[in-house]
């Protein structure tokens, strides 16, 4: 049995706001931290093997993450990890807020060395990211100064 078409009346005088006007009222940003490089000069391993590094990221008590999820970044003495083609993202988040409002996000990053039974914290730093802000590079250095991680902190405007 064929279906019958129904005409729906359309109000041509209705006024709605377009997507561009919505963007004028609010700002959407993708903020994040990526690992550019990691270099070590010292030995931290108890059994004289390679140093196993990983990062613990805490975003205002809402999100706790371990990067990489499984495994670790293995480096020998005087060796560097360079993420040239594929940067290792430690943390990222999409935020939306009113255009006149200034948004501040705090992220704590810990650099740790993995050992069986004991993981020691080499470095711990809290980063304050303001939106909007330009891309900046920070160095996360261990307490003894033998290991350094170069981090890229960005807050890009996005349409997503």
pLDDT tens, 94-139?
888 777 777 888 999 999 988 877 888 999 999 999 887 889 999 9
Q: Print the domain residue range for 63.
A: 36-157
Give the number of domains in the chain: 1
- Per-residue tokens: 60: 């205002």
Q: How many C-beta neighbours within 10 Å does residue 53 have? A: 22
94: domain CATH number?
2.60.40
Q: How many C-beta neighbours within 10 Å does residue 32 have? A: 19
How confident is residue 140, by pLDDT bands cut at 50, 70 and 90? very high
Give the C-alpha separation, 19 to 62, whole Å: 30
**Structural domain includes residue 54:** yes
**Structural domain includes residue 24:** no
**Structural domain includes residue 31:** no
The pTM for the full model equals: 0.76
Give the C-alpha separation, 156 to 81, whole Å: 26
- Per-residue tokens: 65: 């993450």
């Amino acid at each position: 049995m064929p279906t019958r078409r129904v005409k729906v009346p359309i109000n041509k005088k209705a006024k709605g706001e377009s997507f561009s006007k919505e963007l004028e009222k609010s700002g959407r940003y993708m903020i994040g931290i990526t690992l550019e490089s990691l270099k070590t000069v010292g030995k931290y391993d108890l059994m004289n093997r390679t140093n196993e590094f990983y990062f613990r990221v805490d975003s205002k008590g809402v999100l706790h993450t371990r990067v990489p999820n499984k495994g670790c970044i293995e480096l020998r003495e005087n060796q560097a990890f360079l993420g040239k083609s594929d940067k290792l993202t430690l943390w990222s988040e999409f935020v939306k807020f009113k255009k006149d409002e200034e948004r501040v996000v705090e992220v704590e990053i810990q650099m740790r060395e993995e050992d069986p039974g004991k993981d020691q914290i080499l470095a711990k730093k809290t980063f304050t990211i303001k939106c909007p802000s330009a891309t900046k590079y920070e160095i996360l250095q261990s307490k003894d100064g033998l290991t350094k991680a170069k981090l890229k902190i960005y807050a890009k405007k996005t349409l997503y």
